[in-house]
Amino acid sequence: MAARSEVQGTIVVLVTCPSQEVGEQVGRSLVEEQLAACVNVVPGVTSIYRREGKICRDPEVLLVIKTRRPRLAALIRRVKALHPYSVPEIIALPLVGGSRPYLSWVRDSTS
């Protein structure tokens, strides 16, 4: 188990994108710019939501982004700049545990 400080500094950010292509473009940019250590692009997500009074259903991909809390504000700005949606889903989740070597790698990859 990782030290508490490593766990507290690492977060997972979830972002949905309209296509595999957009998801990969966003993910690649975040990793290249060291805003994320790793981005998983998960295909086959169906999002059901309310917009302008209507229930919508759209296919999307889910980005599972591993980063550190100090990088979150810059990551959010970058996702908003790259994303085609006017209001993209960007949700950050804290970690409660994890592999010390992996969390160290996340820290080193986003420094």
Walk me through the domains of the chain, giving residue ranges and CATH numbers. 4-109 (3.30.70.120)
CB atoms within 10 A of CB 70: 11
| pLDDT value for 1 | 54
CB-based contacts of 88, cutoff 8 Å, min separation 6: 15, 16, 17, 79, 80
| pLDDT value for 6 | 61
| pLDDT value for 111 | 86
Identify which has the larger pLDDT, 12 or 97. Answer: 12
Average pLDDT over the chain, rounded to an integer:
94
Q: How far apart are the first and last CA of the chain?
A: 22
Distance CA 41, CA 104 (A): 22
State pLDDT tens for residues 46-57: 999 999 999 999
- pLDDT above 70 for 40: yes
pLDDT-based confidence at 4, cuts 50/70/90?
Answer: low
- pLDDT above 90 for 22: yes
What whole-number percentage of the chain has pLDDT above 90? 89
**Model pTM score:** 0.91
